[in-house]
Amino acid sequence: MDVDGLRTLFMSDDPYPGLHELREVSTMQRIGDRQWVALGYDAVRRVVRDPAFTTGALGGFLVAGLQPGAAAHDYVANRINFLDPPRHTRVRRTVDRWFSPRRVRSLRQDVEQIAAELADRFEGRAELVSALAHPLPARVICRLLGADEPDELAAWGEDVAMLLTLGRTTAQTGAGERAAEAFSAWVAEVDRTDLDLPEAERRSLIMTLFAAGHHTTRDLFANGMTALLRRPDQLALAMADPAATVEELLRFDTPTQMVSRVAPETTEIDGHEVEAGSVIIAALGAANRDPACYPDPDRLDVTRTGPPPLSFAPGPHHCLGAPLARMEVEVMLTTVLGRWPDVRLADPDQVVPRRPSAVFHGLTRLEVDLA
């Protein structure tokens, strides 16, 4: 397996059989010169949790080909995911309070109100990605920012995400650059936050909160709801403990399939010597289906116990909005299942394509009959 083959696997509708095959060979595999993929739970957890593994060099790879000083370049170069301490610590500290457990609890009533307002518009049949899973997290972030949601937000988010892909095409780069210009200009116009950061870092951070938070929540809900609707026995159990259901959905069909880290020094991982300067792809989705941690890992079980899924990459770069995303998906699930307990897929045989990304793993549509 090489990098291109791994990228193709991540972009497939169902990457898990292929990831199983790779992990059965080894939990750590070389996929190129100073390029590795971690596939086992313990290996992935080590890579994402150990502060010795860094991300700063990754931004350098991704800004190649982007015009210095342009919005796309500034967005990627200042993106919090690609900052190392102490700069990462400084930037993250300015916004941590937005996503504290107390702050998230205080937002729940607003999120429930938004979900109810959106659900009031449903009649008979609904497409839950565009009608619920996209607008809800977008509106929540806009409220945090004190701004109205722009009509172009979904398109901007999709296009700037392509800037984070190694090996992106010229067309993807061009679309990402145009979206970044418009997105950055909008942020500059509406930003009323008190973030004590230089302008480029402020804009990049706010764009990241919109794009990353929106993608993860939307895809987690769409993937998870589809999985439940295809398994009536689990759907019947979901409302008994919605929070536990969300954790199992995070594990079962991970909305962010991979993150990357760099090994600044030669180190050993699962018996393999990883050379200094190596890029390590941490396959979160593969780790979350590791049979060494999860018995019968390809079975959805909302009553499952075991180690926490690695979907939000626990460690120094743990997803800022993880508590908010969990709460938003829980609210969306309870809103739909509470109002329409007999909801079903509109066309169970339809194969819905995934978004064309090796990082973000989500369905483009979710049509249901509300019965």
Residue 212: what pLDDT?
78
Q: Which residue has the higher pLDDT, 65 or 37?
A: 37
Q: Which two tokens stand for residue 359?
A: 């990082």
Q: Which DSSP string do the residues of 299-315 spell out, in sequence order?
A: S--TT--SSPP-TT--S
Q: What is the Cα–Cα distance from 200 to 74, expressed in whole angstroms?
A: 6
Cβ atoms of residues 27 and 38 within 8 Å: yes
pLDDT range class, residue 329, cuts 50, 70, 90: very high
The strand pairing partners of 360, in sequence order, are: 256
Long-range contacts of 7-12 (CB under 8 A, 24+ apart): 7/167, 7/358, 10/257, 10/258, 10/283, 10/358, 10/359, 10/361, 11/354, 11/356, 11/357, 11/358, 12/354
Question: Which amino acid, 199?
Answer: E
b/e per residue, 148-174, with b = 16+ CB within 10 A? ebbeebbebbbbbbbbbbeebeeebbe
Q: Considering only CA atoms, which of 166, 162, 201 is closest in space to residue 184?
A: 201
Question: Which amino acid, 83?
Answer: L
pLDDT range class, residue 355, cuts 50, 70, 90: confident
Q: Which two tokens stand for residue 123?
A: 């009649």
- For helices 322-339 and 242-252, give the axis angle rounded to 10 degrees: 110
pTM: 0.94
- Per-residue pLDDT tens over the stretch 276-301: 999 999 999 999 999 999 999 999 99
Q: How far is CA 327 from CA 16, 82, 117, 255, in A?
A: 26, 26, 17, 15
Q: What is the Cα–Cα distance from 356 to 230, expressed in whole angstroms?
A: 23
Residue 210: what pLDDT?
83
pLDDT range class, residue 244, cuts 50, 70, 90: very high
Residue 97: what pLDDT?
86
Q: Which residue has the higher pLDDT, 148 or 65?
A: 65
Cβ atoms of residues 164 and 172 within 8 Å: no
- Per-residue pLDDT tens over the stretch 247-281: 999 999 999 999 999 999 999 999 999 999 999 99
- Per-residue pLDDT tens over the stretch 174-225: 999 999 999 999 988 877 777 889 999 999 998 998 887 788 999 999 999 9
Strands 278-283 and 35-38, sheet pairing: parallel
Residue 328: what pLDDT?
97
Residue 177: what pLDDT?
96
Identify the residue whose tokens are 């938004």. 114
Mean pLDDT to the nearest integer, 68-91? 95
Query: How many CB atoms are located within 10 Å of the residue 211 CB?
Result: 25
Q: Considering only CA atoms, which of 132, 159, 158, 139 is closest in space to residue 366?
A: 132
Superfamily for domain range 3-369: Cytochrome P450 (1.10.630.10)
Q: Considering only CA atoms, which of 247, 218, 242 is closest in space to residue 305?
A: 247
Q: Across all residues in the chain, what is the average pLDDT? A: 93
Domain ranges of the chain: 3-369
The strand pairing partners of 144, in sequence order, are: none
Strands 267-269 and 272-274, sheet pairing: antiparallel
Give the residue ranges of DSSP H helices in the chain.
Answer: 3-10, 16-25, 41-49, 56-62, 71-77, 87-95, 101-119, 128, 135-145, 153-161, 170-190, 199-229, 232-238, 242-252, 284-287, 322-339
pLDDT range class, residue 334, cuts 50, 70, 90: very high
Q: Which two tokens stand for residue 47?
A: 């890579």
Q: Which residue has the higher pLDDT, 244 or 195?
A: 244
- Per-residue pLDDT tens over the stretch 107-156: 999 999 999 999 999 999 999 999 999 999 988 988 887 777 777 887 88
Q: What is the Cα–Cα distance from 175 to 183, expressed in whole angstroms?
A: 12
- How distant is the alpha carbon of residue 318 from its chain centre? 11
Residue 311: what pLDDT?
97
Q: Which DSSP string do the residues of 216-268 spell out, in sequence order?
A: HHHHHHHHHHHHHHT-HHHHHHHTTSHHHHHHHHHHHS-SB-EEEEEESS-EE
Mean pLDDT to the nearest integer, 91-100? 89
Residue 169: what pLDDT?
86
Does residue 98 have a pLDDT over 90? no
- Percent of the chain residues past pLDDT 70, beyond the cut: 100
pLDDT range class, residue 348, cuts 50, 70, 90: very high
Q: Which two tokens stand for residue 231?
A: 């398994």
